[in-house]
Structure 1
Amino acid sequence: MAGSKFGKMVLIGALTGAVVSMFDKTTRSEMSRRAKGLSEDAKYYMKNPDVLRWKIQDKSDKLKALYEQFDSDKRYLQSKASELKELTPTVKTLVEETKTAFVDSKDAVMEAKDDYKQMASEAIKGGHPGTDQPFVPEEAYADGQVDGGSMGGGDSKGAFVPDEAYREGQVAGEARDNMKN
């Protein structure tokens, strides 16, 4: 019984609100205009029921297509979610392995950098392992501090200059002074 009183009271409230809103002149004129439009539409569809049937069928088809699209999208998202659940442990493992590989590579690069610094400092001092010739940086050739062009050639960043070049005067200027020290 309590439910039936609630529905009645809501209906009475809605009707009271509608009556009160009609005290406004613009609301009355707008409602009158809409009522005339509805009346004209009703007369048209009474004369042309096929048009009404066609419009209803068209709306129904659009709603069915929308539902089917929604259902298809829902199934697609569910399948992708299940795939993601299956791939998550694999991806996590792959990310961890990649991280480990990068850390190992970084460590190897740092070790190689330290080795290169040591070899370069020994080479500049003339004590490069495997040769007893001094090392002349490529910048010395570019600045004109070494005569006779590139003695090392190729893509190297410097060249080992034979001791004879010092004796014969082919290494000039500051580079020769630096190389002897």
Structure 2
Amino acid sequence: MKTKFGIKEVVATGIGTALFVVLTTVQIPLGFIPNTALQPRAALLAFFAAVFGPVVGGIMGLLGHALGDALFYGSVWWSWVFPDALFGVVIGAFAVHFSIKEGGFAKKEAIRFNVIQVIANALVWIVVAPLLDILIYAEPANKVFTQGFFAFLGNIIVVGILGTLLALGYAKVGGKSSSLSKED
């Protein structure tokens, strides 16, 4: 796994984090589970991590979620910030296998992307977030594991649809060319 971090990655981190923060308010609440919603920002995070790698995914998840919480909710819920960062790192660790930048994101890569995002979402929302909720905030286990499970379900749907469409679109249009180039 190469973790190159050049100008493209710096720009991607900044743009991705800003978009992630803005998308914090775009949610479809799961009315029967408190503080849990379908969030398009999950697809954006998965897409940026899948294109630019684990460093971009981790920073974008950490800063985007923390800034979004602080700006729109007045406090940061760290037990859900760290899982978003971890999700970005895990997806980004497999970026080379998705071939999005090269324009090769097809059926096989889309399946691989979705298998990995389901595993990553299960890890962070069914295991990590609930455990951190219990350890950091002394939340009741039944509540946080229920929230985590429904966050997992919501994210696999959003990332599965929007994340895959973003990757397909970028691979077809933007993956083969770039406006960013190194000056001589």
Structure 2-normalised TM-score?
0.19
Larger radius of gyration: 1
Normalized against structure 1, the TM-score is what?
0.20
